[in-house]
């Protein structure tokens, strides 16, 4: 069963930053990669992806450059900036807190 990315709203950017922190990539590939890693569990829609790229680049968290494609369609590659890495590590910390929070709020059987 595929989860909607809406559930992960707020972590789209984090996912992208993380993936890019492991190596530059481009939209199409990143989309496939995410679907693959999550074994179909999360499909990040193209519109979502490209919106996020604009947002992240606008905030200086990633930067982009055109790949020199001898063959195949042109690709716009993205790379994380130092600011992006900082943000990523804060986001991951944040995620730990969020997990614990939700555990308290929806998993626990208290008192």
Residues in contact with DNA by CB under 7 A are 4-6, 8-10, 12, 26-29, 44-48, 50-55, 71-77
Binding characters for its own copies, 29-68, by CB under 8 A (x = yes): -----x--xx--xx--------------------------
DSSP state of 4: P
Q: Which two tokens stand for residue 72?
A: 């195949």
* Residue 31 vs residues 44, 84, 96, 108: alpha-carbon distances, Å: 6, 19, 24, 35
> Is-contact 15 55, C-beta < 8 A?
no
Of residues 75 through 94, those in contact with its own copies by CB under 8 A are: 91-92, 94
Buried b (16+ CB within 10 A) or exposed e, 74-110: ebebbebbeebeebbeebeeeeeeeeeeeeeeeeeee
Residue 68 interacts, among its own copies, DNA, none and using kind-specific CB cut-offs from 5 to 8 Å, with: none
Residue 14 interacts, among its own copies, DNA, none and using kind-specific CB cut-offs from 5 to 8 Å, with: its own copies
Q: Which residues bind its own copies (CB under 8 A)?
A: 1, 3-4, 6-11, 14-15, 18-19, 22, 34, 37-38, 41-42, 91-92, 94-95, 97-99, 101-102, 104-107, 109-110
């Amino acid at each position: 069963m595929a989860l909607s990315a809406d559930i992960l709203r707020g972590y789209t950017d984090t996912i992208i930053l993380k993936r890019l922190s492991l190596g530059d990539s481009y939209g199409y590939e990143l989309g496939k990669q995410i679907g693959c890693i999550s074994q179909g569990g999360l499909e990040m829609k193209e519109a979502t992806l490209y919106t996020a790229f604009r947002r992240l680049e606008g905030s200086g968290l990633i930067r982009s450059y055109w790949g020199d494609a001898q063959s195949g369609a042109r690709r716009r590659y993205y790379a994380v900036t130092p600011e992006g890495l900082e943000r990523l590590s804060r986001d991951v910390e944040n995620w730990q807190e969020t997990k614990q929070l939700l555990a308290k709020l929806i998993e626990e059987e208290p008192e």
